[in-house]
A and B are shown apart, each in its own frame.
Chain A
Amino acid sequence: MTEQSDAAIRHEGVVSPFNALGSDDLVVEARGTRLAVVAGGDPLTTPLFEAELGPTSPRIGGKEASLAEAVHAAAELLGKARFPLIGGLETDTNGMRAALKVAERVGGVVDHAASGPLLATIRVMQTGGNVMATLAEVRNRADLVLFVGTDAASLMPRFFKQVIWPEQRLPGTGTTRRLVFLGDGLDPKVGVAPDGTLPTHLPCATDRLVEAAAVLRALVERRAVRGETPAGLPLSDLEKLAADIREARYAIIVWAASQLPAEDAELTISSLCEMLKTLNQAPSPSPESSDGQAGPGGRALGLALTGPGNSIGANQVTAWSWGVPIRTSVATGAPVYDPDGYATEALLASGRADALLWIASFMDRPPPKGVPTIVLGRAGATAEADIVIPVGTPGLDHAGTVFRTDTVVALPVGQLRESGLPSVEQVLNDILTALGKKPVAEDKA
């Protein structure tokens, strides 16, 4: 296909498979396999659309091989492994469905490249709960948005345009929106309002965000806080912020676990979520019911931001198929969820995993080293492995579905070019065929 076409095919209303915001207004021109983002791009996603296709031939031990040979070699490697890790998992719904089938067939464990931050938010949900909003609720109803340790734009360059400063809001939701950035090294300019107003910036050292979140929760819940400068901030600033959150009609708290210190992420998010729960349990503003414990019937909700790579989708498919989140082993034939023990780094460092099937169909993400490895990677990715099978990218080379950062909205992504590359699903199904059926055991259920 690369040689033949001079004429550009213009695709309008393209859904970006990369930004987890569900942007669906991109305009992309395709000339053969070359893509150019004409409108709706941003510094993170445009290069992912526009990267050259690169070599599409599978490789075994660095040498070109046919797809059938590579599939056969992959099946052999996985079939021999005692405890294979199926990692990366940057794929669409159907790719993930197939990955879980492979895991069941070979008795492996699944983990996503971004599980660490993803599970920080999920584990808080699993232990205490949370109150969350989707993008459209933020876009329309928020009158106060607090960003904790993130500027959002570094993960999602279009966040402010698409979510925070839309041209219109639902009638009745108000016209004002105040932003507060809490954290270190955040640039308030990315959140500038159309009228030029800059977000308030409370500069808090990254390693003290965990403390700031705990203090904020205490203040919102009207508990005593000692010291004049908790988390290195003037107490009065935090008191003002707590009062604003209590009085807001619809406050939103944004975090990106990947931008919080890994060791503090869960505790920080937990303080924020407990605070949100308290605020939502507050009664309506009526004279008989108001107990003065919390704001006047306002609401407060969270929004967790994830990066590219469809970690939300990979987790959703795992949760509905197996009943538990990602970082789960089926080595015993049934799901065992262990968010610490089944982290990719832990499995490779301890030597428990003896083979790696690495899936990275959205971008060039090299696999970790240490064990015999099969890569199902985006074409053009340079990292070598024992077996490399270039695969198509959902939304560029084939249709599929991916999930938005708010976990609720799944998006249909389309095909923009004829690259001839197989999808992750196709390659994994071929590997399953090569592995052959497992004998049917007695029904244990």
Chain B
Amino acid sequence: MLTKLAGGRVFDPINDVDGEVKDLFIEDGRFVEAHAGKTPDEVRDLSGKVLMAGGIDMHSHIGGGKFNIARMLMADEHRNQVFHENGACRCGSGEATPSTFQTGYAYAKLGYTMAFEPAMLPANARQAHLEMGDIPILDKGAYALLGSDDLLLSMMREEKGKDAIRDYVAWTLETSQALAIKVVNPGGISAFKWGARRLNLDEKNPYYEQTPRKILTTLADALTELGVPHPVHVHGCNLGVPGNDETTLKTIEGMEGRRIHLTHLQFHSYGKEGKRGFSSGAAAIAEAVNKNKNVSIDVGQVMFGQTVTASGDTMSQVRTSRFADPKKWVAMDIECDAGCGVLPFRYKEKNFVHALQWAIGLELFLMIEDPWQIFLTTDHPNGAPFTTYPHLIRLLMDRDFRNDRLRALPKATREMSNLESLTREYTLAEIATITRAGPARILGLDKEHGHLGAGARADLTAYRDDPDREAMFNEPELVLKAGRRVVEKGVIDPEAAGIVGATHVVRPGYDRLIERHIGRFVEDFRGMRLGTVKLSDAEIEADGKGSLVCHACGGVH
């Protein structure tokens, strides 16, 4: 069936289309060229509407053990944040920590069609994929966590060589069904298990004697050799510590031109100036990002309100546990693999530090010049839930609105930020870049996703062009996934509520002899067999419950 979407204003940065009025054609779930001489079976009038590809969230904690802990920890909030089943949509609860079904519906209602879990512990991969299997409508994928696992660190300590490490990285991607590799506080989660409470970029892990700097370059090199599209996805050292702007600048420098993605950069852009010893380091960091095209970042914007932070960074979560609000927190050491820390957090407008965190995130958004280097995230739910994206978009697009909000903040905060002087307002094309085109490209999905050109899967969001950008992005008129209507005017199509999206993975080739070494480690130290650890395709695809899409790697192996 050929469908024509007529008369919309198209924002499609991958294809250099910037607001032109253009008809789009969909056949068999994909965009196709205009057919000369073929009459569409269906014409849908979208004149006046703003059209973009389906949104892609490249960093959002949507599934896995720590998020399930976070849900249970937020029981008081969930009591008042319930969602009813309606015969088509399943019930659920939670705004900052939504249940799986609700996660899918809420993203779809915002016009998103893909989201990626950025911190899947290989030891917890089976659960993470089971949870993501219960997130309807969205396509999804996950980044496997490495860098504090005893196996990698022991291989580095014993100088097993870069080929063995590269093979281990490839094996991890394959057997945990991952799309990319994430590093959280490189070596630091491990150092905490050995008793350390802090680990700087050039400090050695207490036992393995590896520095975070070395772990980062080692993993970056392995991924480059394997040709994995997404660069190493890095949550750096010293998250949340005043003065970590220096660490971040040194991390960028230390990559010596290697590709790196610095995630939730806002949490890593803190100076220690001023009488409270807390200041914005955004200007210098934005300048470093502007100069280093090998660097991409997502912001991890803070928004005011109750949320919960769920992180693999046990060390920093325990360090900041005194700030938990409400006062309760969970930490776990996990399986010689990594860890997790979960603490509720309430970002308050009237709190000097929280308000400055908010300003620092916006400074990064406005001072990093190339929209292909920066992606819109709140590090859901750590800075704020993803449901705040429309508000964030308005802050970026509307300077008067932004400055109004800024004026509500404490004077001491305003004095520490240059936000008021930043005149930039994001355009619709730039919003399309940081919410779909850019994420698709940085993840290596941009052949079929993140754009509206012929051959792309027909994921599309149509917005009414409302000068109130928050209202506009809060309720798309129409959301299509693979050409199928999933949301119209804020309501999930009952027929679409049960769609189970695909799981996106990469599988670079590697020398399978590495399994002998991994197998020995797993048997000797975890007391398990390798076959129990590996997640099979059938577990995701069984009974048609899910499907896998494997993306090409450009590696030489």
Q: Which residues of chain A come closer than 8 Å to B335, judged between CB atoms?
A: 134-137, 408-409
A410 touches B101 (CB 8 A): no
Q: Which residue of B lies closest to A141 (CB)?
A: B193
Within 8 A of B (CB), among A297-325: 297-299, 301, 316-317, 319-325
Q: How many Å lie between the Cα of A285 and that of B193 in the bound state? A: 14
Q: Does B150 contact A (CB under 8 A)?
A: yes
Q: Which residues of chain A come closer than 8 Å to B332, judged between CB atoms?
A: 131-134, 301, 408
Q: Which residues of chain B come closer than 8 Å to A1, judged between CB atoms?
A: none
Q: Does B518 contact A (CB under 8 A)?
A: no
In the assembled complex, how far is the CB of residue B67 from the closest CB belonging to chain A, in whole angstroms?
8
Q: Does B525 contact A (CB under 8 A)?
A: yes
A323 touches B93 (CB 8 A): yes
Q: How many Å lie between the Cα of A424 and that of B55 in the bound state? A: 37
Q: Mark B453-497, 1 if CB is under 8 A from A, else 0.
A: 000000000000000000000000000000000000011101000
Q: How many Å lie between the Cα of A140 and that of B92 in the bound state? A: 39
A444 touches B321 (CB 8 A): no
A284 touches B196 (CB 8 A): yes
Contact of B525 among A104, A139, A399 (CB under 8 A): A139
Q: How many Å lie between the Cα of A323 and that of B262 in the bound state? A: 30
A93 touches B333 (CB 8 A): no
Q: How many Å lie between the Cα of A364 and that of B323 in the bound state? A: 48
In the assembled complex, how far is the CB of residue B320 from the closest CB belonging to chain A, in whole angstroms?
10
In the assembled complex, how far is the CB of residue A405 from the closest CB belonging to chain B, in whole angstroms?
13
A321 touches B100 (CB 8 A): yes
Pick from A44-52, A56-64, A330-338 the stretch touching chain B.
A330-338
Q: How many Å lie between the Cα of A13 and that of B490 in the bound state? A: 50
In the assembled complex, how far is the CB of residue A69 from the closest CB belonging to chain B, in whole angstroms?
25
Q: Does B71 contact A (CB under 8 A)?
A: yes
A445 touches B99 (CB 8 A): no
Pick from B82-90, B231-239, B249-257, B392-400 the stretch touching chain A.
B82-90
Count residues of chain A with CB under 8 A from any CB of chain B: 83
Q: Does A224 contact B (CB under 8 A)?
A: no
Q: Mark A377-419, 1 if CB is under 8 A from B, else 0.
A: 0000000000000000000000101010001111110000000
Q: Which residue of A lies closest to B95 (CB)?
A: A323
Q: Which residues of chain B come closer than 8 Å to A93, judged between CB atoms?
A: 130
B123 touches A319 (CB 8 A): no
Q: How many Å lie between the Cα of A128 and that of B539 in the bound state? A: 35
A125 touches B331 (CB 8 A): no
Contact of A299 with B195 at beta-carbon distance under 8 Å, contacts A337-B75, A440-B88, A444-B86 already known: yes
Within 8 A of B (CB), among A87-136: 93, 97, 101, 104, 122, 125-136
B interface with A by C-beta (< 8 Å): 63, 65, 67-69, 71-73, 75, 78-79, 82-94, 97-102, 105-106, 109, 121, 123-124, 126-127, 130-131, 134, 150, 154, 192-198, 207, 318, 321-322, 324, 327-337, 343, 490-492, 494, 524-529, 531-532, 536, 539, 542
Q: Which residue of B lies closest to A13 (CB)?
A: B529
Q: Which of A283, A284, A321 has the most CB of B within 10 A?
A: A321
Q: Does A42 contact B (CB under 8 A)?
A: no
Q: Which residues of chain B come closer than 8 Å to A323, judged between CB atoms?
A: 71, 78, 92-94, 97-99, 102
B532 touches A15 (CB 8 A): yes
Q: Does A25 contact B (CB under 8 A)?
A: yes
A298 touches B527 (CB 8 A): no
Q: Which residue of B lies closest to A445 (CB)?
A: B83
A324 touches B84 (CB 8 A): no
Q: Which residue of B lies closest to A24 (CB)?
A: B532
Q: Mark A185-217, 1 if CB is under 8 A from B, else 0.
A: 000000000000000000000000000000000
In the assembled complex, how far is the CB of residue B91 from the closest CB belonging to chain A, in whole angstroms?
5
Q: Does A288 contact B (CB under 8 A)?
A: no
Q: Mark A32-56, 1 if CB is under 8 A from B, else 0.
A: 0000000000000000000000000
B91 touches A320 (CB 8 A): no
In the assembled complex, how far is the CB of residue A119 from the closest CB belonging to chain B, in whole angstroms?
10
Q: Does A176 contact B (CB under 8 A)?
A: no
Q: How many Å lie between the Cα of A140 and that of B323 in the bound state? A: 31
Q: Which residues of chain B come closer than 8 Å to A287, judged between CB atoms?
A: none
Q: How many Å lie between the Cα of A412 and that of B131 in the bound state? A: 15
A401 touches B126 (CB 8 A): yes
Q: Does A341 contact B (CB under 8 A)?
A: no
A-B contact pairs, 28 of them (CB 8 A): A25-B529, A104-B90, A125-B330, A126-B73, A128-B327, A137-B336, A141-B193, A167-B524, A168-B525, A169-B525, A284-B197, A320-B71, A320-B131, A321-B99, A321-B134, A324-B78, A333-B85, A337-B79, A409-B124, A409-B126, A411-B126, A412-B532, A438-B87, A440-B86, A440-B494, A443-B490, A444-B84, A445-B109
In the assembled complex, how far is the CB of residue A433 from the closest CB belonging to chain B, in whole angstroms?
14
Within 8 A of B (CB), among A4-24: 13, 15, 22, 24
B333 touches A333 (CB 8 A): no
Q: Which residues of chain A come closer than 8 Å to B73, judged between CB atoms?
A: 125-126, 129
Q: How many Å lie between the Cα of A13 and that of B519 in the bound state? A: 14
Knowing that A322-B99, A410-B130 touch, tell me 19 more A-B residue pairs with CB under 8 angstroms.
Answer: A137-B193, A169-B525, A170-B154, A172-B194, A280-B318, A289-B197, A321-B90, A321-B101, A323-B94, A323-B98, A324-B75, A335-B92, A335-B99, A408-B332, A410-B124, A410-B127, A437-B87, A444-B84, A445-B89
